[in-house]
């Protein structure tokens, strides 16, 4: 009788042990699961980081393009008025021209002189700032400008050499402009936008 009880007890213990072993995980299995999870989460993080960088870059691209476009359009609107002299007494025209700076006057209020606000304007590159110089002083029109180059053309469409500009200011009829804006866009990324355009000085 005692022997049968002991046998039953051993049988139950053995069965319980097998059930417990089959329900649990060994150390090797746990390490394998942890390794798989690490790979999975690493892939998820990498994908999220790429998506975040792409989103940041696209935002910077849009902002850079928008600000550069506004800056260029402002310049073109003003530069078209170069030489505006409706009464013939203002002496308006090109004051100075270099590959990185353009100064001009215009009688915008038709009073016969160029001494009033925004009648004597300079657009120039100073460091990485595109500056407008007017009666109020110097204002930064656009930041992060990495290049600004002016090219000047006469009435035949021929480019005037930089060395001859000072002596041929009255010959300038068209101003070509190349403007490049660059901004950081996340980790080790840079976004650049370049505008190439020309403006006809209608009053010259």
Question: Could you tell me if residue 194 is inside a domain?
Answer: yes
Question: Could you tell me if residue 17 is inside a domain?
Answer: no
* 56-110 tens-digit pLDDT: 556 656 666 788 888 899 999 999 999 999 999 999 999 999 999 999 999 999 9
Using the structure block, give the residue that is written with the tokens 């090219």.
151
pLDDT of 1 strictly over 60: no
Bridge partners, 91 (sequence order): none
Question: Could you tell me if residue 15 is inside a domain?
Answer: no
**152 Rama class: left (phi>0) / alpha (psi -120 to 50) / beta:** beta
Q: Which two tokens stand for residue 106?
A: 């215009």
* 111-170 tens-digit pLDDT: 999 999 999 999 999 999 999 999 999 999 999 999 999 999 999 999 999 999 999 999
Question: Could you tell me if residue 186 is inside a domain?
Answer: yes
Question: Could you tell me if residue 48 is inside a domain?
Answer: no
pLDDT of 187 strictly over 80: no
- Angle (nearest 5°) at CA 51 between 48 and 52: 85
Residue 187 is part of which domain span? 53-200
Question: Could you tell me if residue 150 is inside a domain?
Answer: yes
Question: Could you tell me if residue 25 is inside a domain?
Answer: no
Question: Could you tell me if residue 136 is inside a domain?
Answer: yes
Structural domain count of the chain:
1
Contacts of 200 (CB under 8 A, 6+ apart): 80, 173, 174
pLDDT value for 108? 95
If 0-12 CB within 10 Å is exposed, 13-18 middle and 19+ buried, where does residue 180 land? middle
**Four-point Cα dihedral 151, 154, 159, 164, nearest 10:** -90
- What's the predicted TM-score (pTM) here? 0.72
* 37-62 tens-digit pLDDT: 777 777 776 666 666 656 555 665 66
């Amino acid at each position: 009788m005692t022997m049968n009880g002991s046998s039953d007890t051993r049988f139950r213990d053995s069965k319980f042990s097998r059930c417990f072993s089959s329900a649990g995980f060994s150390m090797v299995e746990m390490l394998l699961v942890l390794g798989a999870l690490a790979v999975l989460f690493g892939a998820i993080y990498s994908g999220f980081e790429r998506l975040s960088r792409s989103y940041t870059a696209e935002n910077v691209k849009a902002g850079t393009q928008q600000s550069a476009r506004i800056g260029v359009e402002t310049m073109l609107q003003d530069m078209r008025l170069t030489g505006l002299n409706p009464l013939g007494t203002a002496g308006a025209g090109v004051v100075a021209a270099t590959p990185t700076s353009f100064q001009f006057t215009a009688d915008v209020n038709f009073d016969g002189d160029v001494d009033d606000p925004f009648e004597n304007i300079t657009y120039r590159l100073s460091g990485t700032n595109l500056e407008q110089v007017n009666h109020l002083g110097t204002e930064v029109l656009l930041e992060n400008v990495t290049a600004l180059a002016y090219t000047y053309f006469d009435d035949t469409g021929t480019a005037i050499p930089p060395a001859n500009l000072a002596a041929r200011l009255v010959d300038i009829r068209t101003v070509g402009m190349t403007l490049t804006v660059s901004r950081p866009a996340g980790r080790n990324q840079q976004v650049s936008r370049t505008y190439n355009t020309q403006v006809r000085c209608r009053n010259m």
